[in-house]
Each structure stands twice: as C-alpha cells, then as structure tokens.
A and B are shown apart, each in its own frame.
Chain A
C-alpha cells in the first residue's frame, strides 16, 4: 500500500511540475531536464539494478539518440517525430551490436569495455567537424512543432507543451519498463542479478537474457538522449563521453539502484544541485561528488532504497 501511495505522489508531482516550478525558483526547462535525465538513469538501472550488470558506457546510446534527432532535423527532414525515431533506432542498433560483442564479459571487464566502445562514438562526434559540428556541438537546428493531424503540438514555442510531450514519452517508457520487470521475463533478470550460476542451471540462457536487457536499456537511454537534445536544441559531444555515463551511474546509485524510482530521485538531486551550484562555482562537480560520497556512506542503498528494504520492482 505504501508503495502505491509513493508512486501516486511521484506521478502527481511530475504532472503538476510546470505549475509550481516557478514558485520554487525553478523554470520549465529544468523540469524537462529532470524528467529526461531521470529516464536515462532509470534506463541504465534496468540493467544495473534489475539485471545486476554495470554499464559504464550508456552515454554512447544516449548521445546517439541526441545526434540522431539533431542530424535528422538538420540534414534530412524538419520533423521532431522522425528525428526521435531515427535517434532511438541508431542508439538501439548500436546497443544490439555492441551488446552481442560483450555479453560474455562480466563485472569490471564488462564495464571497462562499455567505456571503450562509448569513447569511440565520442571521438567520432568530436573529430568529424563537418557533419557533427565537432567540439562546438551540433547547432543550427531546433525542435519542430508536431502535427498530430487534428491539431499541432507547439513544442517549439510553448514550454509547457514541450514538457508534457516529454512527460508523455517518459510515462510510456516507465510503464513499459515496469511491465517488463513484473513478468516472468523480468524475474529471470532478477534471477541473474541474484545468482548467475543458479539462474544458468535453472535453464536460463544467461547471455541471451543479459543481451535483451542491455538492448532494452539502450533503447530507453537513446530515447532519453533524443529528448535531451530537444530540451537543449543542441547536441554536445560531451553527451557521448564517459563522464556522462558516469553521471547516469551516480544518479542511479545515489537514488537507490534496487528501487524502481530511485534513479529518478538521484537524477532530480543531481540536476538541482548542478543548476544551483554551477551558477555559484566552477567546481560544482566536486560538491556533487561530495554529496554522492555522503549518500553512499550513510545510505548504502541510496535515497529511496534506504526508505524500504524489499527489492522487487513496484511502480
């Protein structure tokens, strides 16, 4: 019961955020950033928290989603929907290929190789000036209004419309992840996290299931990346870099990787700290790091995980 109550409060806050964000000193774009990075952290946590596999290279798929949408709108067609579809397809495809190559590796080796693959995409975006804008990022494009047939959704000029567009995709994504985790397939992932050897000798083909989890996770990470590019009307090669991957891990761990909502909390804390601190100091990252260390020391299960002890997904 308490958990349903908790989820209800989270949804209520998310759906009303643009109406009180200003009153508490925020702005609508900040709300969109929380939701989008929250989605990225939850996507990573599908793999980390619910399959027990640490990827340190999720920025690659996040960034491919971002560049996918930006380059589509800039070079192919000025359509937000087409851009998102292409961005997500690119990120997911890359995840499927890279996942298949590394799925036999475990633990630290897996994490290291995910970093290495991630950096490949960063260097491409960084070097290929003429197409990606190189170090300056991809500029000269922006999100386009979405034609729904009966009406046009002005996500270009109307901040609130854009926020609810982002929130709609977030809601669908979260619902799908929750559904996946609650069924028999989701329980095989939990089984792998809990004890890979036992899972294997129950007859679960471990590599296949980890790969599926990886691809699902990359799918939502690239969707988050595509939305993040739309939030900023800009893509930066740093979206693809290893420290961005680290940010997702920090969000998930800080919020509580054993809980379904934890990573969203982690992302919220991270985004708010960043927003507040970066206007006061260049070294805002050190403060975020300090908060992270304190959370890990005093709340080893993360902000949300500490509040409850059970570990099964409960959206």
Chain B
C-alpha cells in the first residue's frame, strides 16, 4: 500500500498555473527526488502536500486518509513533516530550545502547563538524541541565529524529525551550502532513509546529491510531471535532457 498518493493536483495563482495535474505515488520507506528548473512548481507541490494551501484541483491521500483540505497541524499529527527552502526556525532560541519545542508538541504536551519529572526526563533525553544525530552537540546551547547556514539547516531537519514523521519533505536541504556541509546533510539523509526506513521526498538541484540518494526521481517542468523513473532511467531520458539536464549545471 502506498504512503502518499497525489492524484491530478493543480494549483493556480490568478492566471499563473504553478502546478498542472501532477500525479505521484510514494511507497513507505522510499526516497523520492523531485527535480526541475526554477519556477517548475516544486515548492508549490510541497505546499499542497504539507497543507500550506490546498490544491485548486485534484486530491491527496496519506496512509488511507484523504488530506486534500486538511489543516496542516493535523497532517503533522498523521506523520507529515517538512522543511522549507528558506530555513524556518526560532532564531532567538538555542538549538536545544528549538528542538525541545518540537519534541514537546510531538509528545502531545502543547497544552500542558508543566511537565512531570518523568516526562521532563524523557523529553530531555529525546532532545539530546536529536542533537547528537544532527551532529549539533558542540552548538547545542548557542542561539541558532548565530550559527552557520549549514547548522541552521541541520537544526530545521532535526526539528522535523522530532515530530517522528512517516514522511519527510525536504525542500532543497543543501541549497547554499559548501561541500562539507552538503556532505554532512547527504550523510544524514541517507542514514534516515537506510537506518530508520523513513520515506523522504526531496527537492534538489545538486545532481550529485540526487543520484547519490534517490530511489526514484520525478521531473517537473512548467508545472507538469515530465517524467518519472529510477536515476538511471531519468539520466537516459531524452525528454528530460532536452527540458532540463542539458540546461542546468
């Protein structure tokens, strides 16, 4: 049974059709890359899956629930977590505080006025584990606005992971990063995919990253799904080369 099923979704902004009748199915544990030139509609596509706004046409299902018009916080509860193309974190808080809020909400404490000793210990341990996994131990108590771009991205990814999602949506996680930072993120994503069997949909421009990680690739161009297949199939596809690979990098 598929985890995510997107059926013929479209989204227009006024007269601009950003996404046009895209259909896509993601299996549990799959790592899917979504690629396409600037303005192809990749972020818009993510926004519809995560509930930033509903599609103007089509339907979306997640693990047997129809989520087409479901509010985003309920999608999170079902197991969809995302990061943004431009990092969205709590700038004036430390890495630890950022993660702590995420863990508290994920453990259904968002309306609690205080925590029992037991819960407190459990939450702290979970936060510590996420800091470790994200390679953020040395920076855990620094305010995130002071950190490097790479560390901020890692913090955001760990916040999404704190929600214990079944599907992780990553919008250009390595954009604007140096080689070392990119390598770190790639290793992290591979680990989540291989060790934790997490389903991941990834928007990326960096071809090395994509061919390194993806099980399957979906190519968007001008809002439409141009092709879908394994990295090898996509690399060989003439339509894709004509529309995309030839032009970029």
Contact = CB atoms under 8 A, between A and B. Distances in A.
Interface in B72-87: 72-73, 76-77, 81-82, 84
Interface in A95-153: none
* Most interface-central of B100, B111, B159 (chain A CB within 10 A): B111
A202 B71 contact: no
Interface in A197-211: 197-198, 200-206, 209
Interface in A29-74: none
Contact of A180 (B109, B113, B156): B113
B226 interface: no
Contacts of B100: 187
The main secondary structure of chain A at its interface with chain B is helix
Contact of B113 (A179, A200, A202, A205): A179
Given A184-B110, A191-B101, A194-B90, A201 B115 contact: no
B50 interface: yes
Contacts of B112: 183-185
A201 B50 contact: yes
Contacts of A195: 88-91
Contacts, number: 81
A311 interface: yes
Interface string B168-187: 00000000000000000000
Contacts of B110: 184-185, 188, 203-204, 209
Interface string A277-315: 000000000000000000000000000000000011000
A185 B73 CA distance: 16
Contacts of A206: 73
A218 interface: no
B115 A202 contact: no
A190 interface: yes
Contact of A187 (B72, B81, B104): B104
Interface in B47-77: 50, 71-73, 76-77
Contacts of B102: 202
B92 interface: yes
Q: Which of B93, B100, B115 has the most CB of A within 10 A?
A: B93
B128 interface: no
| Residue from B93, B110, B114 whose CB has the most chain A CB atoms within 10 Å | B110
B163 interface: yes
Nearest to B114: A183
B88 A197 contact: yes
A146 B145 CA distance: 52
Contacts of A187: 97, 100-101, 104
Contacts of A182: 114
A203 B77 contact: yes
A200 B84 contact: no
B213 interface: no
B82 to A, nearest CB: 6
Interface in A148-191: 179-180, 182-185, 187-188, 190-191
B88 A198 contact: yes
A60 B89 CA distance: 35
A201 B81 contact: yes
A209 B111 CA distance: 9
B105 interface: yes
Interface centre among A179, A198, A204 (most CB of B within 10 A): A198
A311 B82 contact: no
B84 A203 contact: no
A144 B88 CA distance: 54
Interface string B93-128: 100010011101110011111110000000000000
Contacts of A190: 90, 93, 101
Given A179-B113, A179-B114, A183-B114, A200 B105 contact: no
Given A183-B114, A185-B111, A202 B163 contact: yes
A183 B89 CA distance: 20
B48 to A, nearest CB: 14
Contact of A191 (B72, B90, B111, B115): B90
Nearest to B93: A194
Nearest to B91: A194
A166 to B, nearest CB: 26
B62 to A, nearest CB: 14
A188 B102 CA distance: 9
Contacts of B111: 184-185
A190 to B, nearest CB: 7
21 contacts: A183-B112, A184-B110, A185-B110, A187-B104, A188-B101, A190-B101, A191-B101, A194-B90, A194-B92, A195-B89, A198-B89, A202-B102, A202-B163, A203-B72, A203-B110, A203-B163, A204-B73, A204-B105, A205-B71, A205-B73, A206-B73
Interface of B: 50, 71-73, 76-77, 81-82, 84, 88-93, 97, 100-102, 104-106, 109-115, 156, 159, 163
Interface of A: 179-180, 182-185, 187-188, 190-191, 194-195, 197-198, 200-206, 209, 311-312
Nearest 4 pairs between A and B by C-beta?
A: A203-B76, A194-B90, A198-B88, A184-B109
